[in-house]
Structure 1
Amino acid sequence: MTEAELPLWATIPAAVLLVTGGLLTLIGSIGLLRLKDFYSRMHPPTMGMTLGSGCVLIASMIISTAILHKPVIHELLITLFVVITSPVTAMLLMRAAAYRDRARSQR
């Protein structure tokens, strides 16, 4: 199967999801550069990475399903892993920063 044989029902949603995922990741990266303090800088990249990679992986799942002519769900596990771990990692980093700031202010 070549790229030209990809059905239209899979091409359009996958293209929209890929562009959306790229834009969300770009917006998160710009937010990381523009914001000043650590706590503000944690939110945009976390949301951008979570939503952006989720969109890209769902697009990949649609394309793989169209090419193989059977449901491909193992990429859904990757999506769930990214969606769960990225916010948890950000929360733990912010908690560590809060403890550090609290210890610094008590000295």
Structure 2
Amino acid sequence: MFQWTLLIVWPYIALCYEKSSIFNCLWHNNSCVDSCPEWMMIKTSNCVQSYWMAQKTCDHPEDRLVGAVCGFSRCDCPDPTVLDTDTGFCYDIDNCPTTHAVL
């Protein structure tokens, strides 16, 4: 019984993973893009580190770990600027057009 259940469920799991996977994707503004805007740089996971730093934004300018990531790249603001997720532009934390809370 268990073997038959696994055979039926396994293709469904594989299809769901494929649809939600963003492997080899360059991520910017909640979608895959061909290249980063000129004011941003590409940050790529190297699949060796056991952690991945969250993108610093106007809403969350602090350093945060988000877990292990492999095969993922994103457009990131150069330090010390942070991303304003509403506009897609990089700002100094003190000049963000949106409100933020520095911890």
Global fold match (TM > 0.5): no
Structure with more helix by fraction: 1
Structure with more strand by fraction: 2
Give TM-score, length-normalised by structure 2.
0.29
